[in-house]
Structure 1
């Protein structure tokens, strides 16, 4: 199937909008992860109102400074419907501000269930609409077809988990398929194929590849298999990776890396001006 390279009536797809945002602002993506310890550090209550203030300050500080924001849905969902309402507000505010949103939800299912997850996040006008979402291909990469189709129709994006930064990831991601191909490589090939980007374009289907995976990204063949995809890279900052890992881990594809930073950025809060200065300094470090 064709991937989400173009939106309605030939409008620019997510991949190219993302590429322009990175060119304009740099590769840093601001993770918005209001877990309890961060709220406490900001002297905010661990309540929906605390989430709302955390989200408001962070969005105001990074607006016009980072390529995109990446809210982690779980930290909002843990507060039930009131927390999800805060996430809706954040996504709508970012959209109104002209900022790209990558919602970290890691959805993965089959058939109509996957289609429903996609409608919740990729359908224009949906309460939890985002520009892109993270998805899990570990029920088979083809299980994501309903999400890929909806993304293609509406100019949205997907990021497929490929080489994650958690220590147990290699047990599955480095394992070999019946055709003796690493699982992560099959996922990368699938992303490149359905992204269907034109020459010089960024695909609207990306991969999640941790900045702490060492040489695995290149040694398993992902670099050559998916040269057009954007790479959403957790593991920078608090998890130990720094600017040197851009080239050490990603090699010639370092220019496609989105540097995902949450705690490394939020530590500068809650003062909005200090947070903005931190975001600007991080962009300078990773450009």
Structure 2
């Protein structure tokens, strides 16, 4: 896979291309794949690193160097940086900037959810071009009500960014909330997806409000409609048991908008940079084949 910068200009002003358009371009050019940056202690140990800030920095710098010029999306998990306090956040800030400079779209996996001014503060943290943690998109939780996300939705739109909203997650506990019946009789996850579809109405080639839907959930056709005209982030590929070949059965006609997310399946090949790249290329090619996109040029 050649090193390219398909994502276009950094969205530092509202005139930049919307996130959905930039994501579509990156997926078509680099392959529809998101790689998580999840520096948990056991993985640092597997890399021969200490579970401290120095190990965190080495792990993160190596991952960004190996992958930021070739994968469509990098997804740092904020919690694994936050656990080291301000020094960990400093590593995260640098990683976000360097990954975006190399052409990857950065999805901050923070899963924020709150109301009013607090939601506005979260939006300013990740979706304001003046913030040191400014990212192309952020994950959000809607289970204080979809309307509680409005400050983030508005901030994302203004900055040309995106959001990925939790809908149907792969953890078993999620079902008790996400598959519960809303007041109007719809499953709650379906209600959230319908809100997302409304946000994306009329966007071309792809809306900027995405959904998080687990790749391990099986056929969802009788539960929800995944045609939200937005991207579908699909965690669960690799170590959690799902494979690229499972995607058509889970996502049906919406499979072309799926961004599969893999973390350990790629990261376990570190710290060797060539091995990390080879693993990411293999996953991207398997996804292309599964969704009918062929194989990326090398």
TM-score class, shorter = over 0.9
- Give the match's secondary structure for 1:93: helix
Higher relative contact order (CA 8 A, sep 6+): 1
Deviation at 1:63, TM superposition (A): 2.5
Per the alignment, residue 3 of structure 1 pairs with none
Per the alignment, residue 293 of structure 2 pairs with none
Deviating beyond 6 angstroms after TM superposition, the runs of 4 or more aligned structure 1 residues are: none
Match of 1:214 among 193, 218, 223: 218
Matches within 5 A, 1:65-214: 65-198=70-203, 200-214=204-218
Match of 1:38 among 43, 47, 53: 43
Deviation at 1:7, TM superposition (A): 8.6
Q: Deviations over 1:209-261 (max 9, x none)?
A: 00011123x2112224x2x1100110110000002211010011111111101
Deviation at 1:281, TM superposition (A): 1.2
Structure-1-length-normalised TM-score: 0.94
Deviation at 1:195, TM superposition (A): 2.5
Question: What is the alpha-carbon distance in structure 1 between the residues aligned to residue 200 and residue 56 of structure 2?
Answer: 34
Question: What is the alpha-carbon distance in structure 1 between the residues aligned to residue 13 and residue 58 of structure 2?
Answer: 35
Question: What is the alpha-carbon distance in structure 1 between the residues aligned to residue 12 and residue 230 of structure 2?
Answer: 17
Which residues of structure 2 form unaligned runs of 5+? 1-10, 289-298
CA RMSD across the alignment: 1.3
Question: What is the alpha-carbon distance in structure 1 between the residues aligned to residue 24 and residue 36 of structure 2?
Answer: 18
Question: What is the alpha-carbon distance in structure 2 between the residues aligned to residue 17 and residue 44 of structure 1?
Answer: 35
Q: Deviations over 1:115-149 (max 9, x none)?
A: 00000000002011110000000000000000001
Question: What is the alpha-carbon distance in structure 1 between the residues aligned to residue 70 and residue 191 of structure 2?
Answer: 35
Match of 1:52 among 54, 57, 75: 57
Deviation at 1:10, TM superposition (A): 4.0
Question: What is the alpha-carbon distance in structure 2 between the residues aligned to residue 266 and residue 284 of structure 1?
Answer: 17
Farther-moved stretch of structure 1 (95-104 vs 202-211): 95-104
- Give the match's secondary structure for 2:207: coil
Per the alignment, residue 245 of structure 2 pairs with 244
Structure-2-length-normalised TM-score: 0.90
Per the alignment, residue 292 of structure 2 pairs with none
Q: Deviations over 1:14-41 (max 9, x none)?
A: 0000000000011111100000010000
Q: Deviations over 1:35-69 (max 9, x none)?
A: 00100000011111111111111111112321110
Q: Is the 8 A contact 1:162 1:207 kept in 2?
A: yes
Question: What is the alpha-carbon distance in structure 2 between the residues aligned to residue 266 and residue 175 of structure 1?
Answer: 35
- Give the match's secondary structure for 1:91: helix
Question: What is the alpha-carbon distance in structure 2 between the residues aligned to residue 169 and residue 43 of structure 1?
Answer: 34
Deviation at 1:9, TM superposition (A): 5.1
Q: Is the 8 A contact 1:163 1:169 kept in 2?
A: yes
